[in-house]
């Protein structure tokens, strides 16, 4: 390890020194040799994005924070295996996708264990402090819970993260046609469920109850 | 949400709005929080630790012993809950003798009526010529409607599913039961024959909700403003031509057990507030109240109507009216399940009221939590209590509530706030 780090440092581009302006490929090199600045810069560059995705996917900020730590621990450990340093962003996202899918599976398993199961459903961000928003969001996440992990991920990445179908296919290591099928399936089912709920249909008409304070 | 692919399905408008709400609810983390996260990751990387999960430790402890333990606990849990397993969502499994049209209307293809079968065993059978519809079918039950004619229902008993059947202006709240219900729009005559189980019927002329037991028959005539409850005779009246066979007839009791005239609707339209609420016609409900008078409404409306009124007033920010409806609900229907919900909503109404106080809102939440510690709103009530206690007395006073909250609802919607309170100086 020591030798490898020395060799890598010798070949590392000068742009690595600053960190803040480093290209993704430079970061990948830095991570591969365990450079502290690369760890910090990778976190600074990608963690906010993964945090938001995880929070939107799970509906829980505290769980998202746990997930992101797990994702980056894996990224930092596995960085030497990254074949194409230019694809660091996809590399990070692919770990995020894997960890999020594992988290969903874990939740489902926990559903069978009464003593491991928490009483409440998904935590909705504290910022959505009005009762109705949290109620509506809780409903959204209950509906998302009914989708398969793949459909849920595709839907969240497409609709909440505004990723293109191609980007989703790359991140999730799926074919474009599979992503499209998954998206169609998720969209159709969610639309049906939402339209069966008068309160949610009311939301589309802007019927939303505000708070006094 | 836009789509860059013309072949991509379009989400329902409500789903688009909901998705946007979900997207906007997540906000970027503060730099200090990110720094803390980075430090935690560095520490984990330095220790070479993988993510610690209780389930993973559990599996490592020994898969075989874990499975045995889980099975044992599951059995105990099921026994303790009276053998109740999680219930599947309600969905239509098939429709015999017809099809479902837009808006949930049921179209008959033959002369034998149409029958809807649900996945959990319930059935909804319309006689030939009856006009009915599936207003909504959701995870937690279904909302059915008969606009004219007769239907027979057999509803499978459930702990969580809620079934509502509209027949003209009447609303039948069902748990597990079998009954035949009819509504003749021309003569404005409502009739319900209950074979087994029980139902609550609410609507005009019935002076609030009427609780019916097996073997009873309810007939309401709107033009005569007459409500009659009598013992049902199995060979009396029409038979449904499709649907499940009637349950075993109960011993016939020929005498009428109740007959009570009810005040006629004075120039107001028949109440259909639950339906109005479901359709978003809140102003229509409030207009009815303004016509009839608040006091008269609060004295005459049924339990479901009061609840619908409370919601409509809340949605239109008429906090005092909402509160009055909830208080009437508590006073007039103390045993109804809605009365417990009303406790929590009174707390919410108090928070929304112009001159409401945090102390009074907390008192309502405490009442709710003491009477329904595992109720549907328990997490919300405890969370609101925590927030209000913090507003009143600061973190020192709110911290014990936060601890209780985290113990009971570690992933609840207020868990983030509770943790913040625990960390607060």
A9 pLDDT above the threshold of 50:
no
* A103 in Cβ contact with B56 (< 8 Å): no
**Looking at beta carbons, which residues of chain A come within 8 Å of B29?**
48, 51
Choose the mutation target among A52, A102, A162, A198 for the interface with B, i.e. most B CBs under 10 Å. Answer: A198
Q: Residue B254's pLDDT band (boundaries 50, 70, 90)?
A: very low
Chain A residue whose CA is closest to B44? A73
| % of chain A exceeding 90 in pLDDT | 16
Instruction: Give the mean model confidence (pLDDT) for residues A39-48.
Output: 90
**Looking at beta carbons, which residues of chain B come within 8 Å of A62?**
411, 415-416, 419
> What sign does the CA torsion over A164, A167, A168, A174 have?
positive
Instruction: Give the mean model confidence (pLDDT) for residues A131-137.
Output: 73
* B205 in Cβ contact with B222 (< 8 Å): yes
CB-nearest partner of A184 from B9, B23, B420? B9
**Looking at beta carbons, which residues of chain A come within 8 Å of B352?**
211-212
pLDDT digits 0-9 by tens, B60-86: 666 767 676 767 766 666 555 544 455
Instruction: Give the mean model confidence (pLDDT) for residues B12-16.
Output: 85
Please tell me whether residue A134 adopts helix, strand or coil conformation.
helix
Q: For residue A13, give how far its alpha carbon lies from the nearest alpha carbon of chain B (Å).
A: 24
Angle between helices A88-110 and A24-32 (to 10 degrees): 70
Which pLDDT value is given to residue B79? 57
Which pLDDT value is given to residue B24? 81
Instruction: Give the mean model confidence (pLDDT) for residues A117-127.
Output: 42
Q: How many angstroms separate the CA atoms of A61 and A127, rounded?
A: 10
CB-nearest partner of B18 from A122, A164, A203? A203
pLDDT digits 0-9 by tens, A102-117: 888 887 776 666 555 4
B314 pLDDT above the threshold of 50:
yes
CA A57, chain centre distance (Å): 6
B202 pLDDT above the threshold of 60:
yes
Q: How many angstroms separate the CA atoms of B174 and B159, rounded?
A: 12
**Looking at beta carbons, which residues of chain B come within 8 Å of A70?**
51
Instruction: Give the mean model confidence (pLDDT) for residues B328-339.
Output: 85
Instruction: Give the mean model confidence (pLDDT) for residues B409-416.
Output: 76
Instruction: Give the mean model confidence (pLDDT) for residues B320-331.
Output: 90
B231 pLDDT above the threshold of 60:
yes
Q: How many angstroms separate the CA atoms of A157 and A155, rounded?
A: 6
Among A200-204, B175-179, B319-323, the range with the most confident prediction by mean pLDDT is: B319-323
Which pLDDT value is given to residue A180? 92
CB-nearest partner of A43 from B41, B280, B380? B41
pLDDT digits 0-9 by tens, B353-412: 777 788 999 999 999 898 888 777 888 889 889 989 988 888 889 999 999 988 888 877
Q: Residue B213's pLDDT band (boundaries 50, 70, 90)?
A: confident
Q: Residue A21's pLDDT band (boundaries 50, 70, 90)?
A: low
Q: Residue A5's pLDDT band (boundaries 50, 70, 90)?
A: very low
**pTM confidence score:** 0.40
Phi, psi for B117 (deg, rounded to 5): -110, 130
Which pLDDT value is given to residue A109? 74
Q: For residue A124, give how far its alpha carbon lies from the nearest alpha carbon of chain B (Å).
A: 5
Q: How many angstroms separate the CA atoms of B311 and B408, rounded?
A: 28
**Looking at beta carbons, which residues of chain B come within 8 Å of A140?**
18-19, 21-22
Q: How many angstroms separate the CA atoms of B206 and B171, rounded?
A: 11
Q: Which residue has the higher pLDDT, B235 or A131?
A: A131
Instruction: Give the mean model confidence (pLDDT) for residues B276-296.
Output: 82
| % of chain B exceeding 70 in pLDDT | 76
Phi, psi for A142 (deg, rounded to 5): -65, -35
CB-nearest partner of B348 from A47, A131, A188? A131
In order of B98, B200, B292, B312, B318, the CA distances from B297 in angstroms are 41, 19, 6, 14, 15
**Looking at beta carbons, which residues of chain A come within 8 Å of B18?**
136, 139-140, 194, 200, 203
Q: How many angstroms separate the CA atoms of B352 and B364, rounded?
A: 13
A1 pLDDT above the threshold of 80:
no
Q: How many angstroms separate the CA atoms of B424 and B398, rounded?
A: 10
| Site of tokens 């004619």 | B149
Tell me the three-class secondary structure of chain B, residue by residue: CCCCCCCCCCCCHHHHHHHHHHHHHCCCCCHHHHHHHHHHHHHHHHHCCCCCCHHHHHHHHCHHHHHHHHHHHHHHHHHHCCCCCCCCCCCEEEEECEEECHHHEEEECCCCCEEEEECCCCEEEECCCCEEEEEEEECCEEEEEEEEEEEEEEECCCCCCEEEEEECCEEEEEEEEEEEEEEECCCCEEEEEEEEEEEEEECCCCCCCEEEECCEEEEEECCCCEEEEEECCCCCCCCCCCCCCCCCCCCCCCCCCEEEECCCCCCCCCCCHHHHHHCCCHHHHHHHHHHHCHHHHHHHCCHHHHHHHHHHHHHCCCHHHHHHHHHHHHHHCCCCHHHHHHHHHHHHHHHHCCCCCHHHHHHHHHHHHHHCCCCCCHHHHHHHHHHHHHHHHHHHHHHHHHHHHHHHCCCCCCHHHHHHHHHCC
Q: How many angstroms separate the CA atoms of A71 and A75, rounded?
A: 6
pLDDT digits 0-9 by tens, B139-194: 777 888 888 789 999 888 777 777 888 887 777 888 668 899 998 877 778 899 98
Q: What mean pLDDT, rounded, does chain B reach?
A: 76
Q: How many angstroms separate the CA atoms of A20 and B152, rounded?
A: 71
CB contact under 8 A, B280 and A207: yes
Q: Residue A122's pLDDT band (boundaries 50, 70, 90)?
A: very low
* Number of A–B residue contacts, CB under 8 Å: 211
pLDDT digits 0-9 by tens, A144-155: 988 988 999 999
pLDDT digits 0-9 by tens, A165-176: 998 998 888 899
């Amino acid at each position: 390890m020591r030798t490898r780090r020395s060799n890598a440092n010798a070949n590392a581009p000068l742009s690595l020194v600053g960190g803040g302006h480093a290209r993704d490929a430079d970061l990948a090199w830095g991570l591969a040799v365990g450079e502290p600045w690369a760890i910090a810069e990778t976190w600074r560059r990608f963690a906010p994005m993964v945090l938001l995705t995880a929070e939107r996917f799970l509906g829980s900020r505290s769980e998202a924070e746990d997930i992101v730590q797990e994702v980056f621990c894996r990224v930092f450990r596995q960085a030497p295996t990254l074949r194409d340093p230019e694809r660091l962003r996809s590399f990070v996202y692919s770990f995020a996708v894997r960890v999020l899918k594992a988290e969903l599976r874990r939740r489902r398993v926990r559903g069978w264990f009464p003593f491991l199961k928490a009483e409440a459903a998904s935590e909705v961000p504290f910022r959505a402090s009005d009762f109705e928003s949290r109620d509506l969001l809780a409903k959204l996440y209950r509906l998302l819970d009914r989708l398969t992990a793949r459909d849920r991920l595709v839907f969240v990445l497409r609709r909440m993260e505004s990723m293109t179908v191609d980007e989703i296919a790359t991140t999730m290591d799926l074919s474009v046609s599979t992503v499209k099928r998954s998206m169609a399936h998720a969209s159709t089912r969610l639309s049906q469920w939402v339209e069966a709920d008068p309160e949610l249909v009311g939301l589309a008409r802007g019927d939303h109850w505000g708070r006094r304070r | 949400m836009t789509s860059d692919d013309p072949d991509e399905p379009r989400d329902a408008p409500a789903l688009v709005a909901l998705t946007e709400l979900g997207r906007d609810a997540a906000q970027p983390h503060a730099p200090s929080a990110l720094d803390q996260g980075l430090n935690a990751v560095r520490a984990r990387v330095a220790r070479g630790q993988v993510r610690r999960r209780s389930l993973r430790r559990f599996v490592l402890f020994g898969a075989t012993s874990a499975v045995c333990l889980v099975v044992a606990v599951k059995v105990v849990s099921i026994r303790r809950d009276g053998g109740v397993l999680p219930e599947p969502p309600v969905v239509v499994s098939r429709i015999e003798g017809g099809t479902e049209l837009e808006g949930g209307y049921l179209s008959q293809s033959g002369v034998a009526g149409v029958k809807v079968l649900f996945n959990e065993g319930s059935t909804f059978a319309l006689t030939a010529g009856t006009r009915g519809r599936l207003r909504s079918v959701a995870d937690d039950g279904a909302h059915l409607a008969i606009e004219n004619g007769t239907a027979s229902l057999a509803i499978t008993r459930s702990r969580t599913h809620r079934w509502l059947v509209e027949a003209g202006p009447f609303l039948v709240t069902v748990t597990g039961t079998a009954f035949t219900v009819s509504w003749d729009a021309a003569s404005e005559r409502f009739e319900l024959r209950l074979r087994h189980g029980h139902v609550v019927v609410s609507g005009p002329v019935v002076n609030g909700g009427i609780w019916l037991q097996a073997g009873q028959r309810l007939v309401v005539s709107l033009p005569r403003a007459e409500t009659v409850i009598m013992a049902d005779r199995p060979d009396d009246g029409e038979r449904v031509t499709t649907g499940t066979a009637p349950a075993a007839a109960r011993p016939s009791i020929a005498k009428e057990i109740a007959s009570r005239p009810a005040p006629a609707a004075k120039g107001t339209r028949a109440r259909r507030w639950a339906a109005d609420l479901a359709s978003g016609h809140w102003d229509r409900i409030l207009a009815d109240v303004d016509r009839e008078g608040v006091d008269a409404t609060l004295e005459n409306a049924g339990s479901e109507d009061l609840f619908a009124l409370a919601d409509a007033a809340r949605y239109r920010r008429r906090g005092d009216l909402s509160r009055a409806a909830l208080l009437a609900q508590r006073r007039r229907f103390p045993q109804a399940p809605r009365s417990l919900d009303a406790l929590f909503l009174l707390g919410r109404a108090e928070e929304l009221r112009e001159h409401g106080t945090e102390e009074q809102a907390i008192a309502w939440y405490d009442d709710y939590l003491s009477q329904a510690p595992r109720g549907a709103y328990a997490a919300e009530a405890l969370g609101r209590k925590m927030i209000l206690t913090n507003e009143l007395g600061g973190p020192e006073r709110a911290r014990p509530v936060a601890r209780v909250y985290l113990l009971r609802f570690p992933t609840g919607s207020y868990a983030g706030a509770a943790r913040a309170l625990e960390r607060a100086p």
